Amino acid sequence: MLAQSDRSHRVQQILEQATVWALYVYAACAVISVSAMQAAYIFALVTWGARVYLQGHTQQLYLPLLIPFSAFALASALATVTAEEPYHSLLEFRHVFEALLFYLVVNQVTTAARATALTRVLIASGTVMALYGLGQSLAQGASFRVHGTMSIYMTFAGLLMLIDLMTLAQLLCWTHRRQLVWAFPALLIITAALVMTHTRSAWLGLIAGCCVLLGLHKKVFLLTLPCLALVVLLLVPQAVKTRALSILDRRGITAQERLSMWSSGIHVIRDHPWTGVGMGAMVRVYQRYREPDSPVDPTRRLGHLHNNVIQVAVERGLLGLACWLWIWLAYGYYAWRLYTRLGPAHNGAKALVLGSMASVVALHVEGLFEHTFGDVEVITLVYFLMALPFGIERAYVNDATLAS
């Protein structure tokens, strides 16, 4: 019996190590390959689940935000049952389980040291891919929208936006001078690549995330950043300046298309207010609700409405939207509460919490103009980042400086 117990313990240790290494692979591949990224975190989920099974109990599992996540899953299931096209909605329902990555990270990344190491792997990978993207810009010209190894530039921009904010958080909360040596160049490279994606929604998300970081961190020298932003605007290629200034132009074709899409989405919500039309139905439903004078090409297959809030409400109804908003509000409350309890001695942890909060805010600001919640690469990385505060909170639960 004792030998069997020892074998079980050794297997559990091997499984834990495999899970952690799979998370490192995920962090390294998050901005490189969607297939490798998904394979890594699915493998981590399997090894983690096997280890929990061998332990024989689940009492030690930490499951924050379980009620809002469960409510959203139930709302999505209800939307699937009542969907116009239940089969397509059922296929899309699988994306609800991407939130399992959040619980994997919460339970496996339970120290600031491990969370910081994973974050730095992510930043290093993001920097390499940003350099690759800048190489695309040099080869193709300033008007080319760089996309790295992603299928589309908007996904690449969303990933760079999140990594950029985590890098800035590391820079603001540095604990050793050597952090400045790598963090500042990485920040410049990632920001430059983000600029060359020409993705305005990601730029706005980055600005919003920076406001969160700078507003909470309260460093006097940060007042110079608006001046630096002006210098950057003056130095960037004319194609980027034109793209940036077009944000304010409501007469532009992309602005008009989005306004028309949102108007159609509101009409869908009025006709299907509580449970929506189901996931995966927008390609066919939109044609019925397309405005006659819409600038959107009538032959275009439109899978989403370029707005997270409207898209969630259209697919899952107002019930689903309420549950979805509940997730983010609950997250914000817990993350803010932890941040206020961290003192000067916890700068490493503060960087992770700050970066996490800024990333979530950036996601939702970008999501006002893009369906970022439906972008697998982006939303899984957000789940990864938003889990970091909950994981490291357990490391400080008995810390006298937090308990006081």
Tokens, residue 159: 């990933």
Report the pLDDT value the prediction gives residue 27, as an integer from 0 to 100. Answer: 98
Tokens, residue 15: 């499984």
Neighbours of 348 (CB within 10 A): 21
Of residues 134, 98, 116, 84, the one with CA closest to residue 316 = 84
List of long-range contacts for 268-272, beta carbons under 8 Å, 24+ apart: 268/314, 269/310, 269/313, 269/314, 269/317, 269/318, 272/314, 272/317
Amino acid sitting at position 261: M
Of residues 65, 88, 92, 64, the one with CA closest to residue 76 = 92
DSSP letters of 337-373? Answer: HHHHH--GGGHHHHHHHHHHHHHHHHHHHHTTTS-GG
What is d(CA 395, CA 7) in angstroms, rounded to the nearest whole number? Answer: 28
Could you give the 3-state DSSP secondary structure of residue 57?
Answer: coil
Report the pLDDT value the prediction gives residue 404, as an integer from 0 to 100. Answer: 39
What is d(CA 112, CA 392) in angstroms, rounded to the nearest whole number? Answer: 6
Report the pLDDT value the prediction gives residue 4, as an integer from 0 to 100. Answer: 64
Report the pLDDT value the prediction gives residue 391, as an integer from 0 to 100. Answer: 85
What is d(CA 80, CA 280) in angstroms, rounded to the nearest whole number? Answer: 10
Of residues 45, 51, 49, 63, the one with CA closest to residue 16 = 51
Contact 54, 15 (CB under 8 A): yes
Report the pLDDT value the prediction gives residue 219, as an integer from 0 to 100. Answer: 58
- Burial readout 8-28 (b: 16 or more C-beta within 10 A, e: otherwise): eeeebeebeebbbebbbbbbb
Could you give the 3-state DSSP secondary structure of residue 219?
Answer: coil
Contact 368, 149 (CB under 8 A): no
Annotated domain spans of the chain: 1-61, 62-251+302-403
What is d(CA 404, CA 397) in angstroms, rounded to the nearest whole number? Answer: 11
Report the pLDDT value the prediction gives residue 348, as an integer from 0 to 100. Answer: 87
Residue given tokens 């190489």 in the structure block: 135
Reported pTM? 0.94
The pLDDT averaged over each successive group of 10 residues in the chain (404 residues) is 70 94 97 96 96 81 95 98 94 96 94 93 98 96 94 96 96 82 92 94 93 77 57 67 71 88 96 96 92 88 93 98 98 94 85 96 97 96 96 65 43
C-alpha distances in Å from residue 53, one per residue of 68, 97, 367? 25, 19, 38
Q: What is the DSSP-derived secondary structure letter of residue 8?
A: H
Neighbours of 279 (CB within 10 A): 27
What is d(CA 161, CA 378) in angstroms, rounded to the nearest whole number? Answer: 10
Q: Which residues neighbour 391 within 8 Å (Cβ) at sequence distance 6 or greater?
A: 105, 106, 107, 108, 109, 110, 111, 115
**Residue 272: burial class (beta carbons within 10 Å; 0-12, 13-18, 19+):** buried
Contact 193, 206 (CB under 8 A): no
Report the pLDDT value the prediction gives residue 396, as an integer from 0 to 100. Answer: 66
What is d(CA 297, CA 257) in angstroms, rounded to the nearest whole number? Answer: 9
